Structure 1
Amino acid sequence: MAVALVLVLVMLVGPATDRISRKKRLSLFVLRCATAILLLLIMCRPTLVATVTERIPGSLVLLLDNSRSMQIADSLNNASRWNALKAVLADSQEQLSELSDTWDLKIYQFDESTKPVQLTDGIANLPDEPNGPQSAIGSALEDVLTHEAHQKIVAVLLLSDGAQRAFAPHDVQPQTVVRRLAIDNIPLYTFPFGKPAFGLQSDLRIEDLLVNDVVFAETPVTVQATVSADGYTNQSHKVQLLWENTEGKMEIVDTRQVLIDSQHKRITVPLSYTPVHAGEYKISVQIDQPAGELVNSNNSQSTFVSVRKGGINILFLAGASRQGGHAGIEPRFIRSALAAHADLNVRYEMLNYSKARINLHSTLEEGAFDVFLLADVDINALDFPTWKQIALAVDKGAGLAMLGGFHSFGPGGFRDSPIAPLLPIQIGRAERQNFGEPIRQDMHVRGPLQFSPQPLGENLHPIVLFNELDINWAKLPALDGANRFERFSLKPNAQLIATSADSNSWPLLVAGAWGHGRTLAFAIDSTWHWQMEGFGDVYRRFWRQLVMWLARKDDTDSESVWVRLDGRRYQRGSHVEFLLGVSETNRNTTSAMSFDIQVELPDGSMASLQPSHRGEKLVGTFTQTTLPGDYKVLVTATNDNKLLGTAQARFTVPDLDMELDQPAAEPTLLSSLAGLTADAGGAGLAPEDLPDLLEQLKSRTQEFEEEIKQEQSLWDSWPMLFSLVGLLCCEWFLRKRWGLV
C-alpha cells in the first residue's frame, strides 16, 4: 500500500503547465502510469504454474536359478525343475510382453555368478540345461541391487529351488540382502521348484574328515570320518582308511563296519594307523558303494598329512602330597600344556602311596619312553627294580626331569636310590622328609621367587631361548617357592640354567647328563601361575622346549627351505594361502634371495606365483582351484643364483558336487525371504501363480506415476526488463527533447 501511494504521488507530480502543451503533458503522464503499473506487476511476481503427470522409470527383475540342482526331475509329470521353470515363463509370455511396454524388463540367471539373459522378440534365450556349480541366492540378489541402482526396482521375482549352496566369496546370506529390499520398499516374490524332501535315491557319503595336518612317525594317528546316510537303514557297510605308501600307491590300513539305523543318520567312525616313515602322505577314507547308488563321487574323502620324525613318548609320574591323597595343581597344568602338542604323547600316572613300592616293569616295557617327568614323587612310590629300569633307560638315551615338591630330591629319599647318580645335584645325608611329619623349612626356599634365566656364554640355554617371542622374564608372575639347592651341591658337570632374581640367586633349574641321556633338576612346582596370569604362550613353550631338550630333539628347523599350508582340503574356488621361508642359517645370507613358486594343477598344467611380504612373513596366494583333484606347491629358493634348496606341499580339492549331492529343494527358505518384504507386498507363491501376479503388477502402474509442477516466472523475464527500461528511456527522451531537463 505504501509503495502504491508513493507511485500515485510520483504520477501527480509533473512539469509546469505553462512550459508544455496539454497533449505533451498527457503523454508523459501515460508513460509514467505505464511504468508504475509495470513496477507493481513486477512486485507481485506473477508465475504461470502447470501440473503434468509423468511415469517413473522402473525395472521389473526376474531372477532365474541356473544351478545344476535344477536338473532334478521332481516336478509335475516328472519334468525337471528347469523345464518346469521354462514352461511357467512360456505361459506368462503375453503378460511379460505387456509389462515390458510399461517397465524395463530385466531377466537374470544365476549360479555362482549373475548374468543377464538376452531377449529375442521378447523371448528369453535360456540354455537347454542348467549347469551352474553353485546356487548363490544372496550374492545374486546383491548383484541385482548393484546393477539396477540407477533406477527404481518395481519388484523382484525369484524362481529357484530355494537351496543356497555356495562357497566363499559367493556365500552371502540372502536374508541380509532381502532386508535391504524391505527397507527400499521393494517386494520380493518367490516361486519354488522341486520337492523339499529328495526321496528318489538313497545315498551314502563321507561328509567330513578330521585329522591333524602334522603327525609323527611311530605315533598312532587317529582319523575321524563322518558317515552320513539317506536310506540303507539296518544295513552294515565297510569304511576303510587308505594311506599312501613310499611308492605313491594307496594301501588299506584300517577297516571298520558301520551299521545304519533309523536313529543314527550321521555316524562318526574312528580309524587309526601308525606311520613308520617321515614325509608327506595322502590319506583317504572311503565307504563301499551299495548296489543301485546313483551318486558315488561323495563316497570318499581325501587329505594330506605331514609325517615328521618320531614324536616323544613321556611317562609323567605325579605323587600325592599325602598318603591316599591327590596330586597338586602343577602336574595337571603341565599335563594340559604338553597335550596341546600333537608330537608329545603323555602317559600320566598318579601315585598316592595307597600301595607302596609298586612295580611299573610292564609299563616301561610297553612304552619305550623318551622322557620321564617326576613331580613330587617319593622314593617309596616305586620299587627298586622300577627305579633301576628308569635309570637304565636314561643311560641309554632317555631324558629325566625331577620337579620340585615336598617329596622330591633329598626330602623324597633319593640319596641312595638308582636315580641319585643321574641328577645334576648332590643329595645330603639328612634331608629325608617322612610322611606325616612337619614340613622341613630348611629344605625349601620361601616365595615369592622370580624366575631368572642365566646366560651360558653369549646365549641362553635352549630351554629358555624363545627366538620369536620377545620375553621379559622379570614380568612373569612370581613363583610360590622352591626346593633348596645350594650352589656347592651342584655336580661338576651341571649347567645352571636359571636362578631366583633376588640377592641369594637360588639355583632353580639345573641341567646335567648321564650316559647318553639328559637330566634336569627343577626346584619349582608352581609354574602354573604363568598360565593362570596371562602368559599361557610362554608356559606352553617352556614346557615343550624342556621336554624337547630332554629328548635331544631341540626345536630347531632342519629344513633349508620350507612351505607351510594353512590347510590340506579346500573347496572349489577357494583361495589357498601358504607361508614359505628358509632355515635360520640361510636367513643370514645376503638380501639377493629369491623364490620361484610353481603350482602343479590336477590336469598337469603349471601356474607360477610371486610371494608377497606380510610383515616379516613371506606369503603365497593361489586362486585357481576350480578343478577337483590334487595340487602340488613347489618352492625353489636361490641366493645369488646359488640353489639354497627346494620344498613342496600338496593339497586337495574334493570332487564334490554341491548341487547334486544333496539336491533337495528348500521352499521354506524362499517363503521366509518373501515374508521379509510382506509390508511392501512381497509373497511366496506357487509357480502357476506367476501369470496372475503379472496381471496384478499391470494394475499397479499408477503407483509409479508422479505429478510434476512446471512453473514459468513472468516478472523476471527479459521482456519485462526491456519493457521497463523502454518506458523509462522513452520518458527521459521526451523530457530531454521538450527541454524539461
Structure 2
Amino acid sequence: MDWSLNPVFGGYWIIGLIGLGLLAVLILVQESGKVNRWQWLALWLIRLSICVVLLLLLLRPGVTFTKQSSPPGTVAILFDESASMGLPSGDGKLSRWGQQTGLLNQIWGDREKLGKENSWAAFAYSERLRQVATAKGIEQSALSLPAEPSGSVTDIAGPLSELMGASLDSPLSAVIWFGDGSQTQSPAGGDPLQMARRLSQLDIPLYVVGIGPRADSENSRDLSVEGVPEQLDVFTKNPVNVLGSVRCRGVANQDVTIRLLMRREGTEPQELARTKVRPVRADEAIPFQLQVVAPEPGAYEMVVEAIPVEREIVAQNNESTVYLNVRAGGARVLYIEGEARFEMKFIRRALGESPDIDILSLPINKPPVQKWPVNLREQLSGDVFDCIVLGDVDYRAIEAEGASRLADMVRNGAGLITLGGYHTYGAGGWGESALREVLPVQIGGATRNSIDGRIQLQEQINGPVKVIPRGGSEILQIDAPERNEETWKSLKPLLGANRWAGIKNNPGTVLLAESQNGDPLIVAGVAGNGKVLSLAVDSTFVWARQGKLAEHKAFWRKLIYWCMRRKAVDEGMEMRMTQRRLFLSQPSELIIDWIAGSQELEMPQNIALHLWKETESGVVDLGESPLIKRDTGSLRSNFAGAKEPGRYEWRARAIALNGKELESRLPFIVVDRSLESLQPIPDWQLMEQMARLNADAGGELLSPDQMSDVMAQLQSRRKQSTETVVENRKLGEGLIDSWTACLVFGLLMIAQWSLRKRWNLP
C-alpha cells in the first residue's frame, strides 16, 4: 500500500500559499465578543478543522493497493460406471471399479489444496451423464459412489457434450476423465476426439486417466471371435466354409487354436474341424476358415471357439454360435447371362426368394472386360446343376467346347431354359453350335448381330407382344385353374421377342404360348434325358414392375421345376430369423416360408407355432405364438424377447393338403452377455488421441500411479491464471468520499454557527 498527494492546481506552492493564508486567519482573527477560555478554544478548534478539511480537499491524498486473485472455476470429475469396470484392472486382484473408486476418493480428499474459491463437481457416466456430488474446496462433502458398476453400455462423447452444456457453480476450468476408452453404445453420442478438440479450443484441459491394463501387458491377454455369421443356408452334402476372424491381444508369437463344434441336444459337443493361427503383433486380427460337409437336412447349432490361453482376462468372447440350415435337395440353377440387364435382375430375385431353389449367376462381359471364350469346364461338368438358364449370351463367349458341354449336360438329364435377346438363337450364332440339336425350335442364321456393331432387327418381333398360353399346359399354370386364364390376360404385353425359323417336329415338342399374331413364344421339348424350354421373350420383368410379383415368381418356378433334373421336390415349411443370437429382451421376427414343392401345393391353414426352451430337466413348451399372414406363401410371428438366457427353439407343425404331416424346427440362443464384456481390453489408443488433441490446453494421458501429477498440474495452472490487480483511490474522486468531505465541512460550519449563536457572538 502506497500513499500519494495530488494537488488540485498541479503545484504545491499554490496549496502552500492557501495554507499560509488559512494559518494567518487562524492566528490573526480574534473574537470581538466576550468569551471565556474554553469557548475560544472550541471555536478555534472548529476553525482549524475547517482549514484541515479544505487543505485535504486541495491536496487530494491518495492510496494505491496491490492484490492478487484467481478467477473462480469448476473442476469436473467424470468416472465410468459401466459394467466393464468390473473387469480386472491389471493391478493384482483389484478390479477396475476398485482402482477407480480409490483414485476418486484420493483426489476428492485433496481438493482443498486448490483453494477455497475453486468448485468441484463429480459425475458418473455410462450411456448418459449423472451428477453425483458438488463442493467448494474447503467444504466438507462426502463422495457417495455406487457399490458396483451397473451401466450396460458406455458412451464417451455424449457425456462430455452434456458436461459442456451443464449448469455449474462457476465456469468449467478443467476435466478429469476416468475410463477404459471402450465405446460400446451404438450409435455413439458423438466423436470423443471432437469433444477433446472442443475443450482445447475453450482452453479447458482434459486429464485422461486410463483404467485397465495396456495391450502390451501380460495382464491384458484376450482372444475374441469376431465376424462369424449367425446362420448359413446350404444344401445337404455340400461343403460349408465358416469364415471369421480372431482378435488376439497380448499373445504374440503363440499358437491360438480355433475349433468348430456341433452341439446336439442331450449329447456332448462334437468337434468337426480345427485350425491354428499365430499372431506376430501384440494386437492383431487374424482371419480363419473352418470347412465341413453339410449333414442331413435340418437345423444345427455350431459353436466356433478359440481355446482360452493362460491368464486370459475374460473368456465370454472366445466363442460365437452359428446356426446351420441344411436343406434337402432343392433345385440348383446355373444362370449364364451376358451384359447385365433388367431381366437377369428380376429372374434372380424371383428364384432367389424361393428357399428350395439355389441359383448361381454367371455373367459374361464382352471383351475387353472379359476375354472370350470363357472356360466353363468346371460349371458344365457332372451333375452339379439341375437346370441351366441361358440368357442373352453370344455363341463366341463359350464357343464350341462350351456349347458341346452344355448340350451333353441336357442329354444327361439337366434342364435347359433359353431366353430371347439380341445375341441369342440365330442372331447370336447358336445355329452353328451343338446346342441347336437339343433345342425344340429351328434357329435361323441369316442375320448375325455383332457384339459391338449395329443390331439387326430382322429376326426380332417388335412389341408390344402379348403372351397367350395354348393347350392349357400345367407348365404355365401360375394361378388357381379357375383363375389362370384371367390372370394371364391381366399381364401386360412384353417389349419384344425373337423370331424363330420354326418349331421342330420332334416327339415331345409342344407349343406352350404364342403372341397375339400367332408367333410362337414358348416351346417345350425333350433332348435325351433332359427337358428344354425355349423362350422367345426376355422382358418378363414387365410383369413384376406391373405389381404382379407373385405371378412372375410362379411363372419362373414352374419353368424351373418342369425342366429340372430331379423328379420331384417335397413340400414343407422353412423358418428363418434375421438374428439367431439375441440378447435379453431383444425383440425379433420369425418368418415361416411355405415350400410348395413340385406339386405346387397351397400353404395349409392349420400351422401351429410353439416356443420351446431347453432346461436342466428337459425341453419345456412355453406356449403357442400367434401367426400373421405376410403373403400367399409366408407367415410371420413377432417375438417380444426372452427374459431369461438360454437355448430356445421354434417348432411349427401342420398337415399339408395331401394329408402329409409336416414339422419344422429353428433353434436360437439368448445370451446374458453385456457388450462391455466383449471388449475387455482398454482402448489406450483412443485415450492417447484424446489427450494429444487437448495438449494445447494442457491435456495429458495419465496412468493411475500418476494421480498426484493431476493435482500438481491443477495447482500450476491456477498459479498461471493468477492476476495482479492495482487499485488507486484519491480523495474526492469517488462519490462517497466526496460527499463525506462536503458533509464534514458543512457540519463544522454549522457547529461553528450554532456555538456563536448560542454564545451571542457576532
> TM-score by structure 1 length?
0.60
- Name the aligned partner's letter for residue 306 of structure 2: I
Q: Which of 512, 532, 555 pairs up with 1:519? A: 532
| Mapped contact 1:609–1:621 kept (Cα < 8 A) | no
Q: Which of 512, 521, 525 pairs up with 1:496? A: 512
1:136 — aligned with what?
155
Indicate yes or no: 2:236 matched with 1:217.
Answer: yes
Q: Which of 86, 97, 102 pairs up with 2:101? A: 86
Indicate yes or no: 2:180 matched with 1:165.
Answer: no
How far off its partner does 1:367 sit?
A: 3.1
Q: Which of 544, 550, 558 pairs up with 2:563? A: 550
Q: Which of 430, 436, 446 pairs up with 2:460? A: 446
- 1:213-612 equivalences in 2 (<5 Å): 213-244=232-263, 250-262=269-281, 265-290=284-309, 293=312, 295-314=314-333, 329=339, 341=352, 343-345=358-360, 366-373=382-389, 381=400, 389-394=408-413, 398-404=414-420, 405=423, 412=430, 420=437, 423-425=439-441, 427=442, 445-446=459-460, 448-450=462-464, 452-455=466-469, 474=492, 478-479=495-496, 482-484=498-500, 486=502, 494-497=510-513, 499=514, 504-512=517-525, 518-523=531-536, 546-551=559-564, 558-559=571-572, 563-570=575-582, 574-579=586-591, 598=611, 600=613
| Mapped contact 1:413–1:433 kept (Cα < 8 A) | no
CA RMSD of aligned residues (A): 6.5
- Name the aligned partner's letter for residue 301 of structure 1: S
| Mapped contact 2:610–2:624 kept (Cα < 8 A) | yes
- Name the aligned partner's letter for residue 183 of structure 2: R
| Mapped contact 1:302–1:654 kept (Cα < 8 A) | no
1:26 — aligned with what?
none
* C-alpha separation in 2, matches of 1:403 and 1:517: 17
- Name the aligned partner's letter for residue 393 of structure 1: N
Deviation string, structure 1 residues 145-200 (Cα, Å, up to 9, x no partner): 89x6799985784532241332447x433549949997998968443123553422
Residues 310, 504 of structure 1: CA spacing in aligned structure 2 closer, same or farther, 3 A cutoff? same
| Mapped contact 1:241–1:286 kept (Cα < 8 A) | yes
How far off its partner does 1:518 sit?
A: 3.7
Q: How many pairs were matched up?
A: 603
Residues 217, 196 of structure 1: CA spacing in aligned structure 2 closer, same or farther, 3 A cutoff? same
1:731 — aligned with what?
none
1:632 — aligned with what?
649
* C-alpha separation in 1, matches of 2:402 and 2:339: 25
Deviation string, structure 1 residues 305-329 (Cα, Å, up to 9, x no partner): 32222244446778xxxxxxxxx54
| Mapped contact 1:485–1:506 kept (Cα < 8 A) | no
* C-alpha separation in 2, matches of 1:139 and 1:554: 62
Question: SS at the partner of 2:459?
Answer: strand
How far off its partner does 1:65 sit?
A: 1.0
Deviation string, structure 1 residues 610-648 (Cα, Å, up to 9, x no partner): 769899885514344784x5343456899xxxxx98754
**5+ long unaligned stretches in structure 2:** 1-71, 656-660, 724-762
* C-alpha separation in 2, matches of 1:547 and 1:660: 49
How far off its partner does 1:279 sit?
A: 1.5
Indicate yes or no: 2:215 matched with 1:197.
Answer: yes
Question: SS at the partner of 2:581?
Answer: coil
Question: SS at the partner of 1:210?
Answer: coil
Residues 472, 59 of structure 1: CA spacing in aligned structure 2 closer, same or farther, 3 A cutoff? farther
Residues 317, 523 of structure 1: CA spacing in aligned structure 2 closer, same or farther, 3 A cutoff? same
| Mapped contact 1:216–1:308 kept (Cα < 8 A) | yes
Residues 247, 346 of structure 1: CA spacing in aligned structure 2 closer, same or farther, 3 A cutoff? farther
Residues 366, 351 of structure 1: CA spacing in aligned structure 2 closer, same or farther, 3 A cutoff? farther
2:708 — aligned with what?
688
- Name the aligned partner's letter for residue 246 of structure 2: V
Residues 494, 189 of structure 1: CA spacing in aligned structure 2 closer, same or farther, 3 A cutoff? same
| Mapped contact 1:371–1:550 kept (Cα < 8 A) | yes
- Name the aligned partner's letter for residue 468 of structure 2: Q
- Name the aligned partner's letter for residue 359 of structure 2: L
Percent of aligned pairs with the same amino acid: 20
* C-alpha separation in 2, matches of 1:615 and 1:436: 46
* C-alpha separation in 1, matches of 2:630 and 2:718: 57
* C-alpha separation in 2, matches of 1:555 and 1:674: 68
How far off its partner does 1:520 sit?
A: 0.2
* C-alpha separation in 1, matches of 2:622 and 2:171: 43
Deviation string, structure 1 residues 397-438 (Cα, Å, up to 9, x no partner): x322244556569975699x8985x6444x49xx5779999x
How far off its partner does 1:289 sit?
A: 4.1
> TM-score by structure 2 length?
0.58
* C-alpha separation in 1, matches of 2:511 and 2:115: 89
Residues 100, 203 of structure 1: CA spacing in aligned structure 2 closer, same or farther, 3 A cutoff? same
Deviates most, 604-613 or 683-692: 604-613
* C-alpha separation in 1, matches of 2:170 and 2:567: 67
| Mapped contact 1:351–1:377 kept (Cα < 8 A) | no
- Name the aligned partner's letter for residue 504 of structure 1: N
| Mapped contact 2:426–2:448 kept (Cα < 8 A) | no
Question: SS at the partner of 1:367?
Answer: coil
Larger radius of gyration: 2
* C-alpha separation in 2, matches of 1:231 and 1:314: 47
Residues 700, 238 of structure 1: CA spacing in aligned structure 2 closer, same or farther, 3 A cutoff? closer
How far off its partner does 1:565 sit?
A: 0.9
